[in-house]
Chain A
Amino acid sequence: MNYVDFLLWVRGPAFQIATAIFIFGLSWRLLEILSLSRKPELAVVRERGIAGGFRTIFRRFLPVDDNTFQRSAFIITAGYIFHLGFFIILLLFVPHILFFREFFGFSWPGLPTPVIGIITIMTLLALIALLINRMRHPVLRFLSGFEDYFVWIVTFLPVLTGYMAFHHFFHYPLMLALHILSVELLMIVFPFTKLMHTFTWFISRWYTGSRAAQKGVQV
């Protein structure tokens, strides 16, 4: 298999397989979670939970108060840089938009490429900092297992290979193929790891926020 075969395989069959596993896993796992359902609240509520649920979905984007921010300033800041960076790269880099246009049938304007480049560097640095923090912080080191490091790697690789491909490090078609392959790896492991939080965070926030709102507490 030469690099052209490899590139065509990752752009073709492999991407199809990865998409299938990704979507398959997502719909399976989400149904598995939601179908467990919860009992209705029988107490007389102070307000209906729906608004509270949505409020918490948005409210939780920011730390609840200064003290909370100060106590976790590093992880919040680095976490924000990484998450925002990752999604900016994913959604606003022109070649990526072209991919989404193919999938969704519509597109949106992208960011100038040098801006994406800078954001990518920041994202990579934030990810590395978060990894070092995970290995050194007593709580994180204590909590972290194989999966925590594994999902870090599969998240880091697409950003790194994407950056290398964009800058034509080594051999572009090979780098591009490795980039797409790393994305496929991410997609394949996604539904079966804690990467699922990407799709469950708002469900969690909704559950917590709606029940708290029923009790009259905005969380």
Chain B
Amino acid sequence: MSTPQTIYESLHHQGFSRRDFLKFCGISATIMGLSPSMIPRIAKALENTPKKSVIWLSFQECTGCTESLIRAHAPTIEGLIFDHISLDYHHTLQAASGRAAEQARENAMKEHHGDYLLVVDGSIPMGNPGYSTSAGISSLDMLKEVASGAGAIIAIGTCAAYGGLPHAAPNPTGAVSVEELITNKPLINIPGCPPIPAVIAGVISYIVTFGQLPKRDSLKRPITFFGQNIHDRCYRRSFYDQGLFANSFDDEGAKKGWCLYKLGCKGPVTYNACATTKWNENVSFPIEAGHGCLGCSEPHFWDAGHFYQALSVPTREIVGTAGYALAAGAAVGVASAMLNKKKKVDATKNHETVTIHDLERTSS
């Protein structure tokens, strides 16, 4: 492998002018959620930063995250991003296959030991290593091996970040997230099913640009993109505040674009950038398309209550529980009633007729 070029060199080589480069830095600032005053710092960093080696491991996943990334609306941006990383291993995107592919991974690991970026999509099965393997290596072993030399890890998609769909009850494969297995490396989660491509791009840009992970929240998500509640940013919020709700997907309320809370929207408990960044060239996002938010970027999103049941509905069955409780309470009540009845009968039996001679204490 040749000596890595800096990102600027790589871009220049492709025919980008200095002006284009600064424009690119501006776009980078935007997608990283940074202010324009940061552009000179970004430019300086990118001029001197060598392309980052990236190893992308896919475990129990659907390739949706990759699809999301490569179908990104602004190919220039994502293209540029790929220009400032060196994607050395990616099942779906790499040309090489078989031994050659694994060789590329091993080379990258050796060459950039301690520095390469590990990107993971998909969860890891702990039930049986055979549930998910590549090149004869189980996901668990592969993750441990590649993670050991990584400078930082990005868990992309809800499966890698929190277990996702494979983790859904009853979790037949014993799926776990990356975070649960690798605790000794800097890690950032970019959850979503799939994550917003611009968010993936923004985070990678940040890491490449500044050589460190962006600020994360308690669920290790970049605060820049996950700091805000969908509900708070939702353009239908005013309908919620007014108490105007769609009751079905084709009623008058739905047509008028009223709040989808009653139809199970998980917006109020979901933190993501969908309501602001949107999807498909800023065209729309699920709520705008008329469907409630599923909360796909939150842990346990498959098990956080029915998709079409409102947030205020308990996630467990309670009618039957109440029935059993009623019966058990009645049993205790009847038992207590019987004790009481006996006590009262005894009290009546023990009653000594009170006469006028019994109204005072006789001094003994």
Q: Which of A5, A7, A103, A115 has the most CB of B within 10 A?
A: A7
A176 and B261 alpha carbons, distance in the complex (Å)? 14
A20 with B321: CB separation less than 8 A: yes
**B232 contacts which chain A residues (CB < 8 A)?**
168, 172
Q: What is the minimal beta-carbon distance from B348 to any residue of chain A, in angstroms?
A: 12
Interface size class of B (residues with CB under 8 A): 35 or more
Name the interface residues of B293-345: CB closer than 8 Å to any CB of A.
298-300, 303-305, 309-319, 321-322, 324-330, 332-334, 336-337, 340-341, 344
B319 with A13: CB separation less than 8 A: no
By secondary structure, the B interface counts as helix
Q: What is the minimal beta-carbon distance from A211 to any residue of chain B, in angstroms?
A: 20
Name the interface residues of A87-123: CB closer than 8 Å to any CB of B.
94-96, 98-99, 102-103, 110-116
B183 at interface by CB-CB < 8 Å: no
B330 with A99: CB separation less than 8 A: no
B325 with A15: CB separation less than 8 A: no
A84 at interface by CB-CB < 8 Å: no
B341 with A35: CB separation less than 8 A: yes
* Closest Cβ neighbor of A30 among chain B residues: B333
Among A21-29, A145-153, A201-209, the one that faces the other chain is A21-29
Known: A27-B325, A176-B311. A15 touches B318 (CB 8 A): yes
Candidates B268, B314, B319; contact of A15 at CB < 8 Å: B314
Q: What is the minimal beta-carbon distance from A106 to any residue of chain B, in angstroms?
A: 13
Name the interface residues of B214-235: CB closer than 8 Å to any CB of A.
218-219, 229, 231-232
Known: A32-B340, A95-B310, A99-B314. A4 touches B298 (CB 8 A): yes
A94 with B243: CB separation less than 8 A: yes
A21 and B325 alpha carbons, distance in the complex (Å)? 7
B245 with A24: CB separation less than 8 A: no
B299 with A102: CB separation less than 8 A: no
**B314 contacts which chain A residues (CB < 8 A)?**
11-12, 15-16, 19, 99, 102
* Closest Cβ neighbor of A31 among chain B residues: B333
Name the interface residues of B147-197: CB closer than 8 Å to any CB of A.
none
Q: Which of B243, B310, B313, B324 has the most CB of A within 10 A?
A: B243
A3 at interface by CB-CB < 8 Å: yes
A4 with B304: CB separation less than 8 A: yes
Known: A4-B304, A112-B243. A103 touches B319 (CB 8 A): yes
A79 at interface by CB-CB < 8 Å: no
Q: What is the minimal beta-carbon distance from B84 to any residue of chain A, in angstroms?
A: 33
A114 with B241: CB separation less than 8 A: yes
Q: What is the minimal beta-carbon distance from A97 to any residue of chain B, in angstroms?
A: 9
A198 at interface by CB-CB < 8 Å: no
Candidates B300, B316, B329; contact of A24 at CB < 8 Å: B329
Binding site for B on A (CB under 8 A): 2-5, 7-8, 11-13, 15-16, 19-32, 35-36, 94-96, 98-99, 102-103, 110-116, 168, 172-173, 176
- Besides A23-B326, A36-B337, 8 more A-B contacts (Cβ < 8 Å) are A8-B304, A20-B321, A21-B325, A22-B325, A23-B325, A27-B330, A99-B314, A168-B232
Q: List 27 interface pairs A-B (beta carbons < 8 Å), by A numbering.
A: A2-B218, A4-B219, A4-B298, A4-B304, A8-B304, A11-B316, A12-B314, A12-B315, A15-B315, A19-B325, A23-B326, A24-B325, A27-B327, A28-B332, A29-B333, A32-B336, A32-B337, A35-B336, A35-B340, A94-B245, A98-B312, A99-B313, A99-B314, A102-B309, A111-B243, A112-B243, A172-B269
